[in-house]
Amino acid sequence: MAGMLGCVRLWAAFCLLSLCCAVDTNKERALRLMAETPLIDGHNDLPWQMRKQFNNQLNKVDLNSIKTTHTNIAKIKEGRLAAQFWAAYVPCDTQYKDAVRQTLEQIDVVHRMCQKYPQSFMFATSSKDITDAFAQNRTASLIGVEGGHSIDSSLGTLRTMYQLGVRYLTLTHSCTTPWVDNWLVDTGSEPPIHNGLSEFGIQVIKEMNRLGMLVDLAHVSEKVMEQVLNVSAAPVIFSHSSAYAVCPHKRNVPDNILRSVKEKNGIVMVNFYNDYVTCSKTANLSDVADHFDHIKKVAGPSIIGFGGDYDGVTRVPHGLEDVSKYPDLVAELLRRGWTDSEVKAALGENLLRVFREVERVRDTLNGTQPGDIPIPYEEVQNPCRTSHGYDPVDSAGNPIPLSPLLLALTALLSWCY
């Protein structure tokens, strides 16, 4: 009997050792693939943490070792994070107030991060910059503006942000703008205002195509997803969304949209927020891998990417506590039978393909005049917005006198309380 128990224990120890070796082999393979292909993450809110914790006073922060965020330079290096779209995010309560100013300040934070830590971060605005930074062993730092309220319904503001380095715009956050409905419409908690995109919203998409700015459909309603996939001349991204079939949260992407993204050669970058991973407060690394598996099953490995949403969420899965943990997720995909080529596609090749196609569309539109038809004033009229440029003029450009009543009404609406 004692001999039999000894054999059982020996066999159990052998099985455990074999499992550990397999895990180690997958981790080693993951690190090798990440040394060959840049890991590109679609969304990280570290700049917002700089606002919340330090009011953007970077001189008070050491990003090498800060412990109050999911992200610091040491963790970035351990996680082999080769390129990051940093979110220039400001909350929806800034809409119709100071959203543009606050967004510009978040763009400034990303620039200053790169200036303060040039050995670690390289400011990037193109697909080539990403590969160049990878060759230099620096993290390519790109900017995505999260929420259409940040452009204040202005194509001129959109263009200016592009000139400052912004390379994607998330069309909405959790608020509807004067030209596009947000995802809460699909929950029934907010009414649809535009039935998707307004005419001006369509103009925004076309201008983004002309500029070479990635269109991000995270946070929009399903109707908007469908419309943009039909309107955009370039492939689209979901910078931080997961699979609706795995977790039926309206922030996630339904199977029919996944297939449309595949047809459009776009990308869905999987979010790590517990509430979007398991539709509950808790989740683990394996649960996140389930989303990767499902998207691959429905639409193939060519539309998958990483969009962790670190530092923008309050709960992250066990095993993915911070940005240092990416290799563990890659190892899990390998354990599940993903091939080297499939993993490399998800790491960065898919996003690079999308980015290059967006740049190609931009180049084909070279010489096309910028869109400059302003949004109708009645669609943006509010007490904090003036009407300069909208005032009526005659054919010679002379102001048309208004009736005293209309003048009084115009003056009243132009006051900002």
- What rounded mean pLDDT belongs to the chain? 92
Of 70, 149, 219, 294, the active-site residue reads 219
Mean pLDDT of 61-85: 98
Of 41, 45, 181, 216, the active-site residue reads 45
Q: Which pLDDT score is estimated for 415?
A: 52
146 part of the active site? yes
43 part of the active site? yes
378 part of the active site? no
Of 70, 240, 249, 294, the active-site residue reads 240
Of 41, 70, 129, 146, the active-site residue reads 146
Tell me: pLDDT of 244 over 90.
yes
C-alpha to C-alpha distances, 54 to 41, 48, 60, 337, 380, nearest whole angstrom: 24, 10, 7, 44, 33
pLDDT 10s digits, 99-131? 999 999 999 999 999 999 999 999 999 999 999
Compute the distance between CA of residue 184 and CA of residue 61 in angstroms, rounded to an integer.
35
Domain ranges of the chain: 29-364, 382-414
CATH of 29-364, one of 3.30.530.20, 1.20.210.10, 3.20.20.140, 3.40.640.10: 3.20.20.140
Compute the distance between CA of residue 146 and CA of residue 141 in angstroms, rounded to an integer.
15
Of 70, 149, 173, 291, the active-site residue reads 173
Compute the distance between CA of residue 144 and CA of residue 165 in angstroms, rounded to an integer.
9
Q: Which pLDDT score is estimated for 24?
A: 81
Q: Which pLDDT score is estimated for 20?
A: 47
Of 309, 311, 322, 349, the active-site residue reads 309
Predicted TM-score (pTM) of the model is 0.90
291 part of the active site? no
Tell me: pLDDT of 12 over 90.
no
Mean pLDDT of 136-151: 98
311 part of the active site? no
Q: Which pLDDT score is estimated for 120?
A: 98
One-letter amino acid at 69 equals T
Mean pLDDT of 136-162: 98
pLDDT band with cut points at 50, 70 and 90 for residue 19: very low
Q: Which pLDDT score is estimated for 8?
A: 44
Mean pLDDT of 264-291: 98
332 part of the active site? no
pLDDT band with cut points at 50, 70 and 90 for residue 401: low
pLDDT 10s digits, 170-202? 999 999 999 999 999 999 999 999 999 999 999
Tell me: pLDDT of 393 over 80.
no
The more confidently predicted of residues 371 and 406 is 371
Tell me: pLDDT of 325 over 70.
yes
Q: Which pLDDT score is estimated for 107?
A: 99
263 part of the active site? no
Tell me: pLDDT of 260 over 90.
yes
Reduced 3-state DSSP string for 199-267: HHHHHHHHHHHHHCCEEECCCECHHHHHHHHHHCCCCCEECCCCECCCCCCCCCECHHHHHHHHHCCCE
Q: Which pLDDT score is estimated for 90?
A: 98
